[in-house]
Amino acid sequence: MCATHPRRWNRFAALCAHRTPSQSICLPHSDSQVGSSGQETGALSAHGVCSVLISLAARTASLFMCGSSGQWCRPARRALCPASPSAAVLVKCLLVSACDSVALAMCAGEENWVDSRTIYVGHREPPPGAEAYIPQRHPDNRIVSSKYTFWNFIPKNLFEQFRRIANFYFLIIFLVQLIIDTPTSPVTSGLPLFFVITVTAIKQGYEDWLRHKADNAMNQCPVHFIQHGKLVRKQSRKLRVGDIVMVKEDETFPCDLIFLSSSRGDGTCHVTTASLDGESSHKTHYAVQDTKGFHTEEDIDGLHATIECEQPQPDLYKFVGRINVYSDRSDPVVRPLGSENLLLRGATLKNTEKVFGVAIYTGMETKMALNYQSKSQKRSAVEKSMNVFLIVYLCILISKALINTVLKYVWQSEPFRDEPWYNQKTESERQRNLLLRALTDFLAFMVLFNYIIPVSMYVTVEMQKFLGSYFITWDEEMFDEDTGEGPLVNTSDLNEELGQVEYIFTDKTGTLTENNMEFKECCIEGHVYVPHAVCNGQVLPGAAGIDMIDSSPGPGAREREELFFRALCLCHTIQVKDDDDVDGPRKSPDGGKSCVYISSSPDEVALVEGVQRLGFTYLRLKDGYMEILNRENGVERFELLEILSFDSVRRRMSVIVKSITGEIYLFCKGADSSIFPRVIEGKVDQIRARVERNAVEGLRTLCVAYKRLTPEDYEGICTLLQAAKVALQDREKKLAEAYEQIEKDLILLGATAVEDRLQEKAADTIEALQKAGIKVWVLTGDKMETAAATCYACRLFRRGTQLLELTTKRLEEQSLHDVLFELSKTVLRHSGSLTRDNFSGLSADLQDFGLIIDGAALSLVMKPREDGSGGNYRELFLEICRNCSAVLCCRMAPLQKAQIVKLIKLSKEHPITLAIGDGANDVSMILEAHVGIGVIGKEGRQAARNSDYAVPKFKHLKKMLLVHGHFYYIRISELVQYFFYKNVCFIFPQFLYQFFCGFSQQTLYDTAYLTLYNISFTSLPILLYSLMEQHVSIDTLRREPSLYRDIAKNALLRWRVFIYWTLLGVFDALVFFFGAYFMFENTTVTSNGQIVTTNTHMIFGNWTFGTLVFTVMVFTVTLKLALDTHYWTWINHFVIWGSLLFYVVFSLLWGGII
């Protein structure tokens, strides 16, 4: 088992029992004797075996009971064996491991068990009587991003290339030419294949050589680590899991480290992760509470601790673990570890002199290395069509070969008709079985006509996509000067898909809006407060800083008012920007105090800045105490006890603080739908009315509540949170359950309103997209009124739009079945019957309805019905959506956003979907959609990192789709159709020629022409055409968004267009062949194959007829491309006329040679 699962050696070798909630069950020592040296020397006695079995039975029962209750875990283990186990120990290991397997099988399905690893800090064994020291094997710290080595490059690269169907097909053709007697030389298929394989291998080899250079530079980088209390320097590749590493300011972390201590007194450090996720802002990380005081190498060297954490996984923002710190006490101190304690490889230390950390993931197990793996591949509609067309042409090829094979034997069945004199068979060949001869002839015809499958098309398409993607990144109009950001292309495989989008799913906050929040007002116990303007950079003190817009709050309100302001000053995760010259808050030039706040949430910054204008200023977090400046310029200090972090599921966050007088408060802020159900006291109705009014005006609202805690309450909360935080299994679930128990029985204080302005040109962009026939859906977590106001502002909804609601509030009055059928009747009565074009938004008559649905209602729609017909509601919902010009989905959880995208994507019409967002909560829908676009916003770069494309602003989506997407689709479609067209022109004369040569498999063209037609004579003009062509101007595409409809639904690669290009190729081939044929009408063929004209007695060579056909064909297909070109540059002229000149020169030289 150890060899198969090396990561589970800990489970295999640890000779201990799991602790149950009430006790520890340990295995007895009576089965062996321990010598004076401390080593186990005895054999396994009968009494020992019985003891072990009894303990194992108890262990299994304990695991089963814990597992069935959903609380199974892996606690610390007691030492029962030395580092070098004996045979007796190994037997017990096997028994314990078998028991583990039985218990886990019993617990299967009860809980998501997470495999973990144990790390010994500094490779030091735990103190005696603590935990067994179990040697573990982990990879070293070498990073290997390269794919090949010097020895495996050729076989591995060839294997990868021949996995492609086209390459494998041409390899088979080449082998057939080598094995049997074929009419063409193996060079004709071998050389193009060799060219394609070689070019690709050189490209991939060069890229891999660059990766090798980068790997070597990274692996040889010097690193400082602690060894025997001293600082030692060695290469990065020699680091091991468990080593204690020291990193200095501006150095990059060499591996994933658990943060132990820093030179800063508060045990924090600042890092930048630009090389990981593109974010250049400083992030604060926190050292382990019990180790942050170890500032020297000697202190660190005396640390005895073990770390239990999850096995490596690629998510940069998630980490689960715990650390056991051993001291003189019998039991270790257990502390939870999260992402805030993890320093990632590739991140850079900033504004901190030095830090110490222990390596937990090294080499290819680091999160940076695991993120080298690419996302799942998305395939465009064009690529799917191209593959279908290739199958069709393969069927045509087989049909041609089969027809010629049959006709050959039919023709030879006539008297005096045999193989031509130049194709005579040997006697042994004549005596072969008929089926074998027919198979040989069939394969020979396959070889003769195989050029109908273009060998260079895949390479040309890849080059077109790769080079064409630079047109987006080079577009200066899509560069945002405010942020200094430009568009990004994370994949070039979907360029043409940008021209086929039928549905756009967009986030609201940070995508349609600026995500630049401004505090507008707050409502405390039903009374509205508006902050006074800041005068000359100073906040007016006292009540002068507040404007009341309603009646006086009355007696006793000042205490609640100040409590509300304190809640806003304390309930957040904001950091105050450091100033190297000033201790404490930054001082403004005029002597007034001001602070620069940093947070991942613009809402938090807006609230803290807003309450500053109301007289309360958050100063800093120092030594675990939050400091605020009140209206009387007095500094108040609160000890920060706990933070219940925000998440998109709870939609709220809380802090627990303790005042200097000993009072303990829990302050909670969040969405009204999350706070109101947990409130037991407060003026709920007045505050709810104000919240709804602000939401209608498009303001973002949050509610604030609190409750006082007794010391006993807080002690119970600490126990509950500690149990959840140190859990390795289902930590998030257990934390959520703990938060649910803690955040209840609250007293409502008030609500806030902040304004998030609409992005520049967002309304114009949505209007243009709708004119292009694209349906736009807004998916947001905001409340319905706020989101609806934004939709009106960006003209997604118009004043004449009739809004249909499918919300929880309406479902309280009617059943889901009744509401859906009522909405369906409404839209069908006005819109008529459904069509395919209705679904893609191409009908101009569907501008009357807009649908609003919330997350709870969506869950009911997606939930299977009790009678088992779960799909009926979904189909009815889709029917309603088809007839609405726009849809707003509010109160959406991240997974619900992806659920909506998937629902539309997999509907029977299979429309092309695009999802755009700026935050981590948008990643799921970005990955689900056909095309994912991330907005490089203020909520990090997770969306941009996981997207196919990234843009600085939503307005840039207009040009990306209506201009770049339009051009990409036109160009790639023309490229694909033209390739098939010119190959039909090339091969069909070969097919016709067989009727004039007795189906003898004689080739019409010279070997050189067969070889160079696709890779030299006709490839460059179409490649340049597919990069440069503009059938209409960019300004026209901007002014006329409706032109986007002309190419919708893969219009240029439909069967009708495909058949047209194929028949055009057949017609042109007939003209080429019979035009040349009639030129040689009065000719005779001599015995040596020469052609002699009857009248002039001119003598032509054997290849004259084929060369004439080939020359007319090359000029025709190239000049056709010139005639189809609308946008001429000097490069077009050079490539088109240069290609023809090259062919003429080559023909003259080659004709002279042969």
Q: Indicate the residue among 111, 135, 157 that finishes a domain.
A: 111
Instruction: Kindly state the average pLDDT of the residues 673-684.
Output: 89
Average predicted confidence (pLDDT) for the chain: 79
Whether residue 1116 is found in the same domain as residue 1130: yes
Whether residue 167 is found in the same domain as residue 311: no
Q: How far apart are CA 586 and CA 594, in angstroms?
A: 6
Q: Of all helices (H) and strands (E), which one includes residue 974?
A: helix 966-993
Which of 730, 744, 766 lies closest to 654, judged by CA? Answer: 744
- Residue 1029 labelled as part of a binding site: no
Q: How far apart are CA 1006 and CA 184, in angstroms?
A: 9
Instruction: Kindly state the average pLDDT of the residues 899-903.
Output: 91
- The pLDDT score that the predictor gives to residue 482 is 79
Q: Is residue 128 included in any domain, yes or no?
A: no
Q: How far apart are CA 1022 and CA 1018, in angstroms?
A: 7
Whether residue 77 is found in the same domain as residue 157: no
- The pLDDT score that the predictor gives to residue 824 is 86
Q: Lowest-pLDDT range, 202-211, 321-330, 428-437? A: 428-437
Q: Is residue 1094 included in any domain, yes or no?
A: yes
Whether residue 598 is found in the same domain as residue 664: yes
Q: Is the pLDDT of residue 669 over 70?
A: yes
Instruction: Kindly state the average pLDDT of the residues 909-934.
Output: 89
Q: Per-residue confidence at 294, pLDDT binned at 50, 70, 90?
A: confident
Residues 548-590: tens digit of each pLDDT: 545 455 556 788 888 999 999 999 988 887 554 333 333 333 3
∠ at Cα 180 (177, 183), nearest 5°?
Answer: 60
Residue predicted with more confidence, 135 or 17: 135
Show Cβ contacts of residue 192 under 8 Å, excluding neighbours closer than 6 positions: 170, 455, 456, 1011, 1014, 1015
Whether residue 903 is found in the same domain as residue 1012: no
Which of 518, 891, 892 lies closest to 672, judged by CA? Answer: 891
Q: Is residue 724 included in any domain, yes or no?
A: yes
Q: Lowest-pLDDT range, 3-12, 262-271, 1059-1068, 1089-1098? A: 3-12
Q: How far apart are CA 1132 and CA 878, in angstroms?
A: 48
Q: How far apart are CA 500 and CA 477, in angstroms?
A: 22
Q: CATH number of the domain that 696 lies in? A: 3.40.1110.10
- Residue 252 labelled as part of a binding site: no
Q: Structure tokens of 714?
A: 């807080």
Q: Indicate the residue among 755, 785, 820 that finishes a domain.
A: 755
Whether residue 628 is found in the same domain as residue 494: no
> Of 31, 243, 441, 507, which is the active-site residue?
507
Q: Is the pLDDT of residue 52 over 70?
A: no
Whether residue 197 is found in the same domain as residue 248: no
Show Cβ contacts of residue 208 under 8 Å, excluding neighbours closer than 6 positions: 146, 147, 148, 153
Instruction: Kindly state the average pLDDT of the residues 986-992.
Output: 90
Residue predicted with more confidence, 65 or 124: 124
Q: CATH number of the domain that 284 lies in? A: 2.70.150.10
Q: Lowest-pLDDT range, 45-49, 303-307, 854-858? A: 45-49
- The pLDDT score that the predictor gives to residue 278 is 60
Which of 759, 923, 946 lies closest to 278, judged by CA? Answer: 946
Coil, strand or helix: which one is 613? helix
- The pLDDT score that the predictor gives to residue 453 is 83
Q: How far apart are CA 211 and CA 1005, in angstroms?
A: 44
Q: How far apart are CA 301 and CA 292, in angstroms?
A: 14
Q: Is the pLDDT of residue 1075 over 70?
A: yes
CA-CA-CA-CA torsion sign (9, 10, 11, 13): positive
Q: Is residue 1063 included in any domain, yes or no?
A: yes
Q: How far apart are CA 892 and CA 894, in angstroms?
A: 6
Catalytic: 507? yes
Q: Is residue 440 included in any domain, yes or no?
A: no
935 φ/ψ angles, rounded to the nearest 5 degrees: -95, 125
Instruction: Kindly state the average pLDDT of the residues 73-94.
Output: 42
Q: Is the pLDDT of residue 767 over 70?
A: yes
- Residue 781 labelled as part of a binding site: yes
Q: Report the Cα 611 to chain-centroid distance in Å.
A: 38
Residues 596-614: tens digit of each pLDDT: 787 777 788 889 989 988 8
Whether residue 80 is found in the same domain as residue 158: no
How many structural domains are present in the chain? 6
Helix ranges, 772-866 (H): 784-793, 808-811, 816-831, 836-839, 855-862
Q: Is residue 381 included in any domain, yes or no?
A: no
- The pLDDT score that the predictor gives to residue 834 is 41
Whether residue 1007 is found in the same domain as residue 1144: yes
Q: Is the pLDDT of residue 370 over 70?
A: yes
- Residue 891 labelled as part of a binding site: yes
Q: Indicate the residue among 731, 755, 779 that finishes a domain.
A: 755
801 φ/ψ angles, rounded to the nearest 5 degrees: -75, 130
Assess contact for 17 and 59: CB atoms under 8 A: yes
User: CA-CA distances (angstroms) from residue 281 to 188, 338, 347, 577, 595?
Assistant: 58, 20, 12, 11, 17
- Residue 669 labelled as part of a binding site: yes
Assess contact for 1121 and 1132: CB atoms under 8 A: no
First to last CA, the chain: 70
- Residue 700 labelled as part of a binding site: yes
Place of tokens 């006539």: 414
Residues 779-818: tens digit of each pLDDT: 988 878 888 888 888 888 887 788 888 888 888 778 888 8
- Residue 646 labelled as part of a binding site: yes
- Residue 604 labelled as part of a binding site: yes
Residues 619-665: tens digit of each pLDDT: 988 888 999 998 888 899 999 999 998 887 788 999 999 999 999 99
Whether residue 793 is found in the same domain as residue 739: no
Whether residue 555 is found in the same domain as residue 668: yes
- Is beta strand 244-248 parallel, antiparallel or unpaired with respect to 279-286? unpaired
- Residue 509 labelled as part of a binding site: yes
- Residue 647 labelled as part of a binding site: no
- Is beta strand 268-273 parallel, antiparallel or unpaired with respect to 348-350? antiparallel
Q: Lowest-pLDDT range, 147-161, 288-302, 969-983, 1076-1090? A: 1076-1090
Residue predicted with more confidence, 1114 or 190: 1114
- The pLDDT score that the predictor gives to residue 37 is 34
Q: Per-residue confidence at 80, pLDDT binned at 50, 70, 90?
A: very low
Q: Structure tokens of 987?
A: 């091969």
Look up the domain containing 1084 and give its range: 457-477+963-1153
- Residue 782 labelled as part of a binding site: yes
Q: Is residue 264 included in any domain, yes or no?
A: yes
Q: Is residue 94 included in any domain, yes or no?
A: yes
Instruction: Kindly state the average pLDDT of the residues 81-100.
Output: 45
Whether residue 286 is found in the same domain as residue 195: no
Residues 495-547: tens digit of each pLDDT: 999 999 999 999 988 888 887 788 988 998 888 888 864 333 343 334 344 55
Residues 865-888: tens digit of each pLDDT: 655 555 578 888 888 888 888 899
Coil, strand or helix: which one is 884? coil
